[in-house]
Structure 1
Amino acid sequence: MNASLNPIERSFELAASRCADLAPLVYQRLFDAHPETRAMFRSQGSELVMGSMLALTIDAILDFAGERSGHFRLIACEVASHDAYGTPRELFIAFFAIIRDTLRDLLGDEWSAEMAQAWQTLLVEIEAMAGIAA
Structure 2
Amino acid sequence: MNAVSHLIEDSFERAASRCADLTPLVYQRLFDRHPETQAMFRSKGGDLVKGSMLALTIEAILDFAGERRGHFRLIACELASHDAYGTPRELFIAFFAVIRDTLRDLAGDDWTPEIARAWETLLAEIDAFAATPT
Q: How does 1:1-134 map to 2 (within 5 A)?
A: 6-131=6-131
Structure 1 unaligned segments of length 5 or more: list them: none
**Shift of residue 90, structure 1, vs aligned partner:** 0.1
TM-score with structure 1 setting the length: 0.93
Q: Name the % identity.
A: 78
Which 4+ residue blocks in structure 1 deviate beyond 3 angstroms?
none
Task: Write the deviation string for residues 75-110 of structure 1: whole angstroms up to 9, x where unpaired.
Answer: 011110000000000000000000000000010000
**Shift of residue 67, structure 1, vs aligned partner:** 1.2
- Alignment partners' CA distance in 2, 1:64 and 1:113: 21
Structure 2 unaligned segments of length 5 or more: list them: none
- Alignment partners' CA distance in 1, 2:81 and 2:62: 21
Alignment coverage as a number of residue pairs: 128
- Alignment partners' CA distance in 2, 1:35 and 1:47: 17
- Alignment partners' CA distance in 2, 1:41 and 1:80: 18
- Alignment partners' CA distance in 1, 2:64 and 2:8: 10
- Alignment partners' CA distance in 2, 1:9 and 1:109: 17
RMSD of aligned C-alpha atoms? 1.1
Q: Residue type matched to 2:46 in 1?
A: S
